[in-house]
Homo-oligomer: A and B are copies of this chain.
């Protein structure tokens, strides 16, 4: 089984109201001093391990770039476990 993790965050240049809300909430709970917070998505995909590793990697890249992340306002990282 191959496990891929796609970590998606708003680009630094984009205002992140969710992140600001979390930062303020932490301050209310006495956990001040957090300068910046960005809130995004973490998506884990499990794919059978059969097939050509290069083809699997390219399919996962397509899924991350074209379906899961919005390249206009988001950036993403793709981490793959179990692929030779």
Total copies of this chain within the assembly: 2
8 A Cβ contacts from A1-55 to B:
1, 5, 7-9, 19, 22, 25-26, 29, 31, 33-48
A25-B67, A26-B67, A63-B26 known; A34-B45 Cβ under 8 A? yes
CB distance from A47 to the nearest CB of B (A): 6
CB distance from A33 to the nearest CB of B (A): 6
A7-B5, A26-B67, A67-B26 known; A38-B43 Cβ under 8 A? yes
Would you call A43 and B37 a contact (CB within 8 A)?
Answer: yes
A33-B47, A35-B47, A47-B34 known; A42-B9 Cβ under 8 A? yes
**Residues of A in contact with B (beta carbons under 8 Å apart):** 1, 5, 7-9, 19, 22, 25-26, 29, 31, 33-48, 59, 62-63, 67-68
